[in-house]
Amino acid sequence: MHLSTRPILRRVALTGAALLAATAAVPQASAATGDRIPAGGGLSAVIRYTENGIPHILARDYAQLGFGTGWAQAADQVCVLADGFVTVAGERSHWFGPDAAPDGSLSSATRNLSSDLYFKGVRESGTVEKLLATPAPAGPTTDLKELMRGWAAGYNAWLAQNRIDDPACKGAGWVRPVTTTDVAARGFAVSVLGGQGRGIDGITTAQPPAAQPPAAAAPGSSTTALGPASAPDPATAAEAAREFFDTSRYDMGSNAVAFAGSTTASGSGLLLGNPHYPWQGGRRFWQSQQTIPGKLNVSGGSLLGTAVVNIGFNEKVAWSHTVAAGTPASARACRCPGRPVRRTR
């Protein structure tokens, strides 16, 4: 997707200015303008949709921006989102059966039971709570915590105030309100998806090596000594390594290309982000514009269930990110670090 050109940035700035003018006292906008002003739990936001259904979310602060984002995402993809929250709660086997397969959006687990064992382990170890309690910059900033708190409130408010018509989850008991920790747990799953998230089956089915048969006891001895643990079969280990390094089986990867203004027809810098992510399911990007007057004005794509724009642009800079499998072949194929690229005048 083209994320940064001067005409686009100018239109975004004008759109933001128009929204600000129409909502000088956020969120007291006129319903006649087509604005939607959802509210709940002491939070609210203004959401204006383009003719193509892209939400422009205007709010006073980060908590209310998160509220509007959670509401708008729920309105658009509630069943996909609810399915993901069942995953990070470690409850897929209960609702969908232990042998059914997850959609792969939050881990590589091939069975619900493996997925549940992993995410229950994350929950019981308090991993997410420890990360939330870690001071920034190693842990999340106050603004990010407020975004996640608001996202949970917006999602919950949408559930409380709307009827689900999507047959994928209409009347389903697994569609439930979420907490800030649930939102953070989903963010954690996304952040480790390309790392330990690729080894869930191996993590959850790991067993200690089989012991050698007991050594014969010495005459008159009442004790029996166990021999050393058996080494893994070399042929099996080699085949596993070949499978791991076979990049043709990976569904993750990406690239990004930046152009200086001297190379474009418009004279503006240009960034092409190509994340190689799916168009459907829990790992798709969701487009929006987020605005806090005088503080934030950004457009782009967010991963479903997250409150931030992962690939996007503002008035001064555009950014993308890239993903590559951790193998030598993929490293050679994708020499494209995902660094922010400043707009060149």
Joined together, the tokens standing for residue 301 give 């794509």
CA dihedral for 233, 236, 242, 245, sign (positive or negative): negative
Contact 259, 25 (CB under 8 A): no
The candidate with the shortest Cα–Cα distance to 45, out of 53, 31, 34, 35, is: 35
Contact 17, 293 (CB under 8 A): no
Q: Where are the alpha helices (DSSP H) in 162-199?
A: 180-191
d(CA 64, CA 154): 8
Q: Which of 44, 114, 115, 254 is catalytic?
A: 254
Angle between helices 62-88 and 112-125 (to 10 degrees): 130
Is 191 known to be catalytic?
no
Joined together, the tokens standing for residue 343 give 């707009």
- The strand ranges marked E within the chain are 39-40, 43-44, 46-49, 55-58, 255-259, 270-274, 285-292, 296-303, 311-313, 317-319, 341-342
Q: Is 64 in a helix, a strand, or coil?
A: helix
d(CA 79, CA 255): 30
Give the active site residues: 254
